[in-house]
Copies of this chain bind each other. A is one copy, B any other.
């Protein structure tokens, strides 16, 4: 039984129990959200028997983030990828996708699954394409076999671009950046070469049975997501989203868990609308968005352009945010890029949780602010998203231990610290209250 089938049958699985504890929510709420399809617990039964610690993705729980790692044909080795995995999970990534596209692709995946406590996602088409000379040589059988192979390895969720249909491709004709999803572009090329519909779509029932057997969660890919602000919210994007809604119902019939992937590049004022549209067309299946980037002009800083959009998406109800690193559009991320991406997205997800008023979301903020006001520098570092970096920056100008309890920092210097000046703010406030009540009211001098 998949988590979805168990939930429907009224069973609270050990994984739901575990997740409920992590989220500080009731097991029954978790069960009912999973049963309704509004929450997923991506937990391949094979990975569950190894190190996986179950987690959930859904709007009723805290907003999650994913880090994409993996090599490309140009660069990358197993150890490098395991180091990136460790960095991502250490800094708080809730899931990790292995997007390897070259070299020892099977070995990297297995090593990651074996090592990972968080769910691992993949995009099977990236492996399928490895085994053919030309995309047109791909067969439906290869596709299904590869999914089964990866499911057996223990992959927890898979991106499947089943919503790109032949009739959607003409809608991309006048785009500025065409089709930017690798999976989407491959399926488009395949369909045109074969004069046939997308095999993920035509073979969706068989696919569901494989996914169901291991409880692999569908991450229905947005093969026609916009690759620039100019292409945001166009007919192609929304035609595919509607198809993803149909596929969601179909997968649910098969007892499979489903989330929906979203863009990409969207100007700020259209982010919320995208989230609402997904909810409507895809029947509340959890929305898993990539960014979105809110401007196209900052290559080298797209962790920031996209963290803005991601925070808006989180506030509007996205369930998981796929990070973007500073290297996006420029090259394969290294370990430090992974760090930058993960922290930017922890910020976005947390800011969204606060804005949505999630239970206890602000507790850590308040604790850190209190430590800040009390000049407890070490506690401030401990409570911060990246203690190592916070400490290093403080050390740059005031490395000595004594300054970790000093009542100032190098930003303002000892004489100018507002917190020092008003540290006894209660006394100051009480004095001011006493004095101002005796003061003759002043009218503003001309």
The total of chain A residues at the interface (CB under 8 A) is 141
Chain B positions within 8 Å of A227 at CB level? 369, 372-373, 418-419
Instruction: Give a binary string over A355-399; 1 marks a CB under 8 Å from any B CB, 0 the rest.
Output: 111000010111011101100000011011110011011101110
The answer to whether B355 and A267 touch across the interface, beta carbons within 8 angstroms, is yes
A57 at the interface (CB under 8 A from B): no
Closest chain B CB from A76 CB (angstroms): 9
The answer to whether A369 and B229 touch across the interface, beta carbons within 8 angstroms, is yes
B301, B422, B436, B442: which contacts A189 (Cβ < 8 A)?
B422
- Residue of A172, A334, A369, A385 with most partner-chain B CB within 10 A: A369
Closest chain B CB from A65 CB (angstroms): 14
Question: With the chains together, A343 CA to B171 CA distance in Å?
Answer: 35
Closest chain B CB from A192 CB (angstroms): 5
A204 at the interface (CB under 8 A from B): yes
Chain B positions within 8 Å of A126 at CB level? 416
The answer to whether A418 and B331 touch across the interface, beta carbons within 8 angstroms, is no
Flag the segment in A19-27, A79-87, A423-431 that touches B: A423-431
Query: 5 extra interchain contacts, Cβ-Cβ under 8 A, other than A73-B415, A228-B373?
Result: A188-B432, A298-B346, A305-B347, A328-B411, A331-B411
B177, B331, B350, B370: which contacts A393 (Cβ < 8 A)?
B331
6 CB < 8 A contacts A-B: A74-B398, A177-B372, A178-B373, A268-B355, A269-B355, A300-B389
B73, B365, B426, B442: which contacts A229 (Cβ < 8 A)?
B365
- Residue of A184, A351, A366 with most partner-chain B CB within 10 A: A351
Chain B positions within 8 Å of A74 at CB level? 397-398, 410, 413-414
Which single residue of chain B is at the shortest CB-CB distance from A414? B73
A315 at the interface (CB under 8 A from B): yes
- Residue of A326, A328, A394 with most partner-chain B CB within 10 A: A394
Question: With the chains together, A188 CA to B305 CA distance in Å?
Answer: 39
A107 at the interface (CB under 8 A from B): no
A402 at the interface (CB under 8 A from B): no
The answer to whether A390 and B177 touch across the interface, beta carbons within 8 angstroms, is no
A307 at the interface (CB under 8 A from B): yes
User: Chain A: interface secondary structure?
Assistant: helix
Question: With the chains together, A185 CA to B446 CA distance in Å?
Answer: 26
Chain B positions within 8 Å of A439 at CB level? 166-167, 195-197
Question: With the chains together, A130 CA to B74 CA distance in Å?
Answer: 58
A308 at the interface (CB under 8 A from B): yes
A421 at the interface (CB under 8 A from B): yes
Question: With the chains together, A389 CA to B350 CA distance in Å?
Answer: 28
Chain B positions within 8 Å of A204 at CB level? 444-445
B205, B307, B389, B429: which contacts A170 (Cβ < 8 A)?
B429
The answer to whether A445 and B202 touch across the interface, beta carbons within 8 angstroms, is yes
Chain B positions within 8 Å of A171 at CB level? 429
B315, B330, B380: which contacts A268 (Cβ < 8 A)?
B315
Closest chain B CB from A396 CB (angstroms): 6
Chain B positions within 8 Å of A172 at CB level? 422, 425, 428-429
Question: With the chains together, A166 CA to B295 CA distance in Å?
Answer: 44
Question: With the chains together, A328 CA to B416 CA distance in Å?
Answer: 15
A141 at the interface (CB under 8 A from B): no
Question: With the chains together, A430 CA to B170 CA distance in Å?
Answer: 6
The answer to whether B425 and A347 touch across the interface, beta carbons within 8 angstroms, is no
Closest chain B CB from A426 CB (angstroms): 6
A113 at the interface (CB under 8 A from B): no
Query: Given the interface contacts A365-B228, A444-B247, does A72 sit within 8 Å of B411 by beta carbon?
Result: yes
Which single residue of chain B is at the shortest CB-CB distance from A353? B295
A17 at the interface (CB under 8 A from B): no
Query: Given the interface contacts A177-B372, A228-B365, does A442 sit within 8 Å of B197 by beta carbon?
Result: yes
Which single residue of chain B is at the shortest CB-CB distance from A102? B413
